[in-house]
Chain A
Amino acid sequence: VKRIRPPSTQTAAVLFALADDPTAWRYGYELSQQTGLKAGSMYPILIRLADRGLLETAWESGLPAGRPPRHLYRLTGQGIKLAAELAAPAQRSVKHRRIRLRPRTDGVS
C-alpha cells in the first residue's frame, strides 16, 4: 500500500493560492508574493506538484513581439481535489475554534 504523506504547510499554501481561482493561469512570482514564499522554496514545490500530476504548466503564447513568454501554472483536476480535501478539515477546525473561543455574553451585564 502506497503511503500518502500529507503536504507541508508551504505546499498547502501554494495549493490554496492556486485553488483560489482554479481556472486561472498564474505566474510563479505572483504565487510567491501571494504565499509569502521565496523563489527558493516556491519552485521546488511547483516542480514536485507538477511531478505528481497536481499542477499543469504552460508557456504564455500570443504575446506582442519583444516580450518573452512566462511560465504559467494552474491546478489539474487532481490538484483541485487535493486542495479541497486539505481545505475541508482546516475550515472545520477554524469553525470549531471560533465556536469555542466565542466569548460568553450571557449573564454579562
Chain B
Amino acid sequence: MKNAGTDGPQRLLAAAIRLLPNERRGWGLAMLAELGQLQHPSTRWRFALGCARVAIFPPRKGGLSQTIMEQTQKSVIKTLGLAMLISFLLVLPFPILQVVYSQLSLRKSDNFVLFGLLWLLSMAFIVSVIPIVRTIRMGNSLLANPITLLLRVAFLALLAWMWGVIIIDQLPCFLGVPNCD
C-alpha cells in the first residue's frame, strides 16, 4: 500500500480542511481519520473528493436563521464601515487645508477634538440616511411611516446644521487666517 500520509487524496483533504471554520475543524479531522482507513487508491480519491467538497462548502451552523443573522451582522458592519470611510473622506480636506495654509500643528489636542467631532457628525448623518436610501432603492414608499420619517429628517437637519456651523466657524483657521480661534 502507498503511504497514506503522503498521497494525493490525503494532501487534497488536508488542504481543504484548512478552509473549514474552527467550529467545523473537528469534522475535517474526522474525515481525515476515516480516509486513513481506506486502502484502494480509487476509493481514497472518491472519498477525499467528496469530503473536500464538504470542507469547502460546509453546512452552516444553525441553518437558515443563523444565516439570516450572519447576513444582518454583515450588513451592519458594511454600513458602519461605509459610513466611517465616507466621513473620513469628507473631513480629510480640512486637516489638509490646515497643514497647508496654517502654522498650527495638527498635534494640538483641540484639533483632534474638532476633526473627531466633524467625523462623528458626518458618520451619524450617513448612518441615518442609509435606511432612507435603501427604502427608495427597494421601491417602497417613504410615507409608510411618516412619524419615523419626520423624526429622521429632523435629526438629519440638526446634524447638517451643526456640521455647517462648525465648518463656517472654523474655516478661517483652516485657511490660515491670523489670530483665528
Contact = CB atoms under 8 A, between A and B. Distances in A.
A68 B31 contact: no
Secondary structure dominating the interface of A: helix
Contacts, number: 60
Contacts of A71: 26-27, 29-30, 33-34
A107 B26 CA distance: 65
A38 B63 CA distance: 22
Interface stretch (B43-51, B107-115, B152-160): B43-51
Contacts of A70: 30, 33-34, 36-37
A40 B30 contact: no
Secondary structure dominating the interface of B: helix
Nearest to B57: A44
Contacts of B33: 68-71
B129 interface: no
The bracket for how many chain A residues form the interface is 10 to 19
Contacts of B36: 68, 70
B54 A40 contact: yes
B62 A29 contact: no
A43 B27 contact: yes
Nearest to A69: B33
Interface of B: 24, 26-27, 29-31, 33-34, 36-38, 46-47, 49-51, 53-54, 58-59, 61-63
24 contacts: A28-B30, A28-B31, A28-B34, A29-B38, A38-B46, A39-B31, A40-B50, A40-B54, A43-B27, A43-B31, A43-B50, A44-B58, A44-B59, A47-B58, A51-B62, A51-B63, A68-B33, A68-B36, A69-B33, A70-B34, A70-B36, A71-B29, A71-B30, A71-B33
A-B pairs, 6 with minimum CB distance: A40-B50, A71-B30, A39-B50, A43-B54, A40-B53, A70-B33
Given A28-B34, A42-B50, A71-B34, 18 more contacts: A27-B34, A27-B37, A28-B30, A29-B37, A29-B38, A39-B31, A39-B51, A40-B50, A40-B54, A41-B50, A43-B27, A48-B63, A51-B63, A68-B33, A70-B33, A70-B37, A71-B27, A71-B29
